[in-house]
Amino acid sequence: MNTQETLARVIDALRPYDVIKAADTSRAYNAESVAREMHARLCNLAADLEAQVRLEYAAGTGRLDATRAIVRMLDAVKKQDTRPALAYAWTDADGRQCACDGFRAFRLANPLPLEPRPENAGKPIDLSKIFPVCAIDAPEMALELPTVQELKAYIAVKRAEWAGKRADFGCQWDFGEGKPAVNAQFLLDALAVMGDDVKAFAYAKSGQMNSLAIIFFTSERGDALLLPVRKFNETGAALEAASAENEADRLQRRRAYNAQVVERMMNDYRENVKRNPDYAMTPEQFAVLAEHMEPNAA
């Protein structure tokens, strides 16, 4: 927001007063209603300016991309999730800044300049119950990460190839045969947040690499996790074999089934949280949930 845009919003906030003053009727009633309207508009302006100041500070510390990634994730939670506990970052018992949207989670040693957590946001989840306590740096479970520029170019190409299709855009990054695939934009956000020295490892209860292993990231900035997605070649094999006229119908049925599974698991999760605010899904439960998430669910 530049100076001209800020001035325009201030003028807009003050305009109702000029309108009421010119009318000069029911002054007491109008003055009160105008005051409320002006206060609301100026509060919105103040909130936007505070957000801009935080981003400018992040830019000055070299963490603008990381801050934007987390802000983008939390804004999506605010729009889609009815649980305010995940809509704001929090500080855990070890002093780390934490953020989670149900698909990915971050624990950062040095906090980013994010919106303060309101008192009525509720009790945050305990991420220590989600991150595995075992060592995750086994060489055989290491994953080779793309660079930020490589991933940006890959997403841009895939988006261009998707142009003209009716379905929502979905882009995966496949780590290879027998290895997991992830939402490419989520992976790009993770790289931005974790920094240049980030390393990634797959985690599975069996200890063996597989396509539904959870991805964990470690760097000097902290650690993070990202849930895998079903690979396009796995979820789409049956559709490709079907005739073209039946493709949309089959895709709709599959999505409806997956949505039912996800809804049932999330309802169970919410009920468990009501009974026990410290309840958290295990990595295995997250893996089952990921199995039924659509590749372009975000």
55, 135: one domain: no
From 60, 88, 110, give the residue that closes a domain: 60
Query: How many Cα atoms within 13 Å fall on the side-chain side of residue 226?
Result: 28
32, 168: one domain: no
Could you tell me if residue 68 is inside a domain? no
For residue 176, what are the domain limits?
A: 131-291
The span from the first CA to the last CA of the chain, in angstroms, equals 27
Could you tell me if residue 193 is inside a domain? yes
Could you tell me if residue 149 is inside a domain? yes
Could you tell me if residue 124 is inside a domain? no
Could you tell me if residue 120 is inside a domain? no
286, 160: one domain: yes
From 60, 93, 108, give the residue that closes a domain: 60
Closest to 185 (Cα-Cα) out of 158, 224, 214: 158
Could you tell me if residue 218 is inside a domain? yes
How is the chain classified by DSSP, letter by letter?
--HHHHHHHHHHHHHHHHHHHHH-SSHHHHHHHHHHHHHHHHHHHHHHHHHHHHHHHHHHTT-HHHHHHHHHHHHHHHHH-S-GGGSS-EE-TTS-EEEE-SSEEEEESS----PPPPGGG-PPP-GGGTS-SS----GGGEEPPPPHHHHHHHHHHHHHHHTT-SSPP--EEE--TTS-EEEHHHHHHHHHHH-TT-EEEEE-TTSS--TTPEEEEEETTEEEEE--B--HHHHSHHHHHS-HHHHHHHHHHHHHHHHHHHHHHHHHHHHHHHH-TT----HHHHHHHHHTS-TT--
Question: How far apart are the C-alpha atoms of 65 and 182, rounded to whole Å?
Answer: 20
Write phi, then psi, for 213 (nearest 5 degrees): -70, 145
Could you tell me if residue 74 is inside a domain? no
Q: Poorest-confidence range of 114-123, 166-175, 262-271, 288-297?
A: 288-297
| Segment 225-243, tens digit of pLDDT | 999 998 876 555 434 444 4
Longest Cα–Cα distance in the chain = 78
| Segment 205-217, tens digit of pLDDT | 777 788 888 999 9
177, 287: one domain: yes
pLDDT of 135 above 70: no
164, 278: one domain: yes
Provide the number of structural domains found in the chain.
Answer: 2
184, 40: one domain: no
Compute, in degrees rounded to 10, the torsion defined by CA atoms 73, 186, 210, 208. -70
pLDDT value of position 233: 64
31, 171: one domain: no
Tell which wins on pLDDT, 148 or 242: 148
**Residue whose structure tokens are 């590749």:** 295
| Mean pLDDT computed over 146-174 | 85
33, 170: one domain: no
pLDDT of 85 above 80: yes
Its pTM stands at: 0.67
Q: Give me the residues paired with residue 172 across strands.
A: 183
226, 144: one domain: yes
**What is the bridge-based pairing of β-strands 199-203 and 142-143?**
antiparallel
3, 141: one domain: no
Could you tell me if residue 116 is inside a domain? no
40, 148: one domain: no
Tell which wins on pLDDT, 221 or 253: 221
47, 186: one domain: no
From 26, 43, 60, give the residue that closes a domain: 60
| Segment 9-63, tens digit of pLDDT | 776 766 655 555 555 455 554 566 767 777 777 777 777 788 888 888 888 888 8
Question: How far apart are the C-alpha atoms of 259 and 270, rounded to whole Å?
Answer: 16
